[in-house]
Amino acid sequence: MPNDITIRKFKKDIRNTSFLELYKSLFLDNSARTWNSQEISVIFKLAIMLINYGDEITYKLGYRLILRYCNAVKDYSILYDFTIANDYIPISKFIETQYLNSYTKDDTFNSLILSAYKENFRKDDIYITKGQKHLIDFSNNTEGDFVIVAPTSYGKSDIIINMINKYINKKICIIVPTKALLSQTKKRVLSKINQINKFGKVIIHPDMYNGDDKFIAILTQERLLRLLQKNQDLSLDVVLVDEAHSLLESTSRSNLLAYVLIILKKRNINVDIRYFTPFLIDPDNLKIPYINSTKFKSIKTNESLKVENYYFVENNKVDTNIYLYDQFLDEFFLKQKIDLGTDVELVEHLSGNKNIIYLNKTKKLEYVASKISDIQGLIENDEINKICENIADYINKDYKLIKCLKKGVLYHHGVMPDLIRSYVENVFAKFDDVKYVVTSSTLLEGVNIPAERLFILDNRKGLSNLTESQFKNLVGRVCRFKDIFDKEKGSLQLLEPSIYIFKGEYTSNRANISDFIQKCAKEDRIIKDNKENLLLQNEDEIKNFSEEEKEDFIRVVECLENIEPNSVKGINSINYAKTRIGKLCYLNNITEFDIISNEDSLNDSLHNAALKTPFTTTDTLISAIVSIFLNENVEFKKRDENLLRLRHKDAQNFYSMMLSWRAEGSSYKMMISRFLGYWKKAEDKTIYVGRRWGEIKRNDDDFYELYVDISSKTKEEKINLAILRIKEEQDFVDNSLMKFIEVINDLGMIEKTFYEQIKYGSDDPYMIILLKNGFSIELAKYILEKEFNSYVNIDIKSETINIEPQIISRIKNMNINGILAFELEYHISTFKQGK
């Protein structure tokens, strides 16, 4: 059929018709109204016309009209017919089971044929759409490199599982974007793959590999690079790249992702690389010229069962205007005025049963969570009370999270203890009484929690606005298929998620929110992939680089060549490190300074430090890091305040203390107590806390507020600041200091037992295996107690673990903290290997 109607032509044609008022009434009327036959006829005639003669956008608008009307009047006969005709089988099956009536009950021949047809879309105990079925068929029948582009909730995780099952006896790696997803992905994989023994072991840490000829690795790009660096002959058979759109970015982590893919293709030209992403216009934009000579095979589905309702909430502190933004007509319609003063009051007024509240800054995020909890009543739920007791015992009774949880509010961000963050996700999913989770961009990192409404109180991520893909990623976290089609709690109302974007207390005064909404949500906007990664640029694009871009490109390629020589052909003027320390700096991803230009200085400092080896104390180790890498002769690319603080003696003492706690395997609760003691003893009460928590400047030349006056804080404030700072300092040690420690260890300058204590928190080989497999230090200590020996089998040689499920009841009978029991249950479902 010809594309006679486009959305732009449709918008022009309806301007002076009665349809617009009817359309607005359909979406703006808050009270139930009766629709006469003429109005119904107009709605459905237009819907049919748009569906059958329009382009992709007008088709979606026609579907929206049908969906909205049926939800408004709670009569789903028309929607049932539409979904049958368009293979939206999950919707039609849900209508059958939840709204049975005459149009689904007859036993005619046609009805029987239709029922049999629907079974083609059954997958295990759920039904899938035609688009989902195409994705599955494509992944099952396509060899070589390919790209799958599909919205969040479209079953990409299940496709990954299917592909793993397909490649028994292969070396497989799933690359995940964050460390937080390692254990979560491992749990999902091992709970669903078949014949686990035939896959060898599952690797989530580079040190777990010891020459295995088959395995499933689940690694971040940093861990995969470390694995490849330590094992120069290792190659892989299949690589599955999750959230692959991050490869387009111009960050150091995006460069690392490109590095590992280039290295893997160099080592095995036949390695199959499969990319999975919810956002990509042109799959070929993921092509790395050095490894992909032909176009990708790809599949992309634009099928969408959900149609969002976007609301612009304009709060001027006197009254509030709420506009419905129509993404098809690109217009804002005033929906209502509300006489409420604060954003928090508005959120409560507009909230549903489960709500996600997004903010950019962690400090404001916790503040908003507290404010929401202040206007909620206490939850009368014994299980919630027990959970609060568990958190108090594991962390501290004055942890701010406990006060919020008692009122049905949680917060979720990257500076929480990792186990508590997982615990929070589970609590929010499990308990109806917990209605709110206030979160940062951690929600963009693959976290799946049930929610029906999203409130964006700040449209930024970091220093910039949310990009279109980040915005869509956030929106995709609301009303997931699992929740929409749940047999007990599901509802077709959830096919119309409510997304509220605020211009209020937490947005910049300069923010143009209406423009932001149009840019991110307008259906007929022109979208382009923003291909910023230098390693993705083709020959013609490189020729048009500016001089600065050319220099940056050479540096990026130079880094890769020093990690894996001869990875990139045809690039001149590559400098290679000549010294052992220079090569190790490249291999350990040290990017804070230019390695080549500082190589001689590093080598000279190394010879002086080597006279004091082997290092066996944290004091001498920190001193060595400073004298070798942070001395005044080393020129940094840009000033890194957090790292360069180590040039000062008080910072050296502090990080020596942090490393000693790490070596002892200190619990979170113990570290909080020690932090408070450290602050109490400090002569200078102006404590460094970084830009995120800083309130004052200490020095006249300080550009940012990086400090707090700890003497002005209450005990509760000190405890909560300690919790946050411990996580930040742990991340700093993991992501910054450990790179330098690895170089020093690779040079043979650290005593072996001491190195293991620093890296793992123990030199016990059984403990180390548990820690490598993702166990917390606290749980690992319990697991190794004598009374649990009969339930746990750890194979030192293969580094595999078998844990009998009966250990759960044993631990609960011992009244061990429920957070550790939760973590153990998490691991029980994964450690089936070796039986």
For the segment 625-645, the average pLDDT, to the nearest whole number, is 87
Report pLDDT digits (tens) over 142-154: 999 999 999 877 8
Give the Cβ contact number of residue 40 at 10 Å.
Answer: 13
Q: Where are the alpha helices (DSSP H) in 712-789?
A: 715-732, 738-746, 752-760, 765-772, 777-783
Q: Quick check: 101 pLDDT over 70? A: no
pLDDT of residue 178: 87
More confident residue, 296 or 457: 457
Report pLDDT digits (tens) over 557-594: 999 999 999 998 877 788 999 999 999 999 998 989 99
pLDDT of residue 402: 97
Q: How confident is the model at residue 100 (pLDDT cuts 50, 70, 90)?
A: low
CATH class of 309-521: alpha beta
pLDDT of residue 835: 37
In terms of pTM, does the model score above 0.85? yes
Return the minimum-mean-pLDDT range out of 10-19, 341-350, 475-484, 730-739. Answer: 10-19
pLDDT of residue 115: 74
Report pLDDT digits (tens) over 23-58: 999 998 766 678 888 888 888 988 998 998 768 899
pLDDT of residue 513: 97
**Cα distance between residue 523 and residue 780, in whole Å:** 51
Q: Quick check: 718 pLDDT over 50? A: yes
| Sequence-ordered list of residues with C-beta below 8 angstroms from that of 272, at least 6 positions apart, any chain | 143, 144, 145, 237, 238, 239
Give which of 107, 55, 51, 53 is closest to 79, Cα–Cα: 51
More confident residue, 190 or 186: 186
Share of the chain above pLDDT 90, in %: 58
Q: Quick check: 825 pLDDT over 70? A: yes
**Cα distance between residue 29 and residue 337, in whole Å:** 13
Query: Which amino acid, residue 366?
Result: E
Q: How confident is the model at residue 754 (pLDDT cuts 50, 70, 90)?
A: very high
Return the minimum-mean-pLDDT range out of 8-22, 378-392, 471-485, 732-746. Answer: 8-22
More confident residue, 339 or 231: 231
Report pLDDT digits (tens) over 524-543: 888 888 899 999 998 888 88
Q: Quick check: 1 pLDDT over 50? A: no
Q: Quick check: 604 pLDDT over 70? A: yes
CATH of 130-300, one of 3.40.50.300, 3.30.9.10, 3.30.70.141, 3.40.50.11930: 3.40.50.300
Residue written as tokens 């694995």? 227
Q: Quick check: 103 pLDDT over 60? A: no
Give which of 661, 698, 695, 696 is closest to 678, Cα–Cα: 661
Q: Quick check: 832 pLDDT over 70? A: no
Helix (H, G, I), strand (E, B) or coil at 279: coil
Q: Quick check: 195 pLDDT over 70? A: no
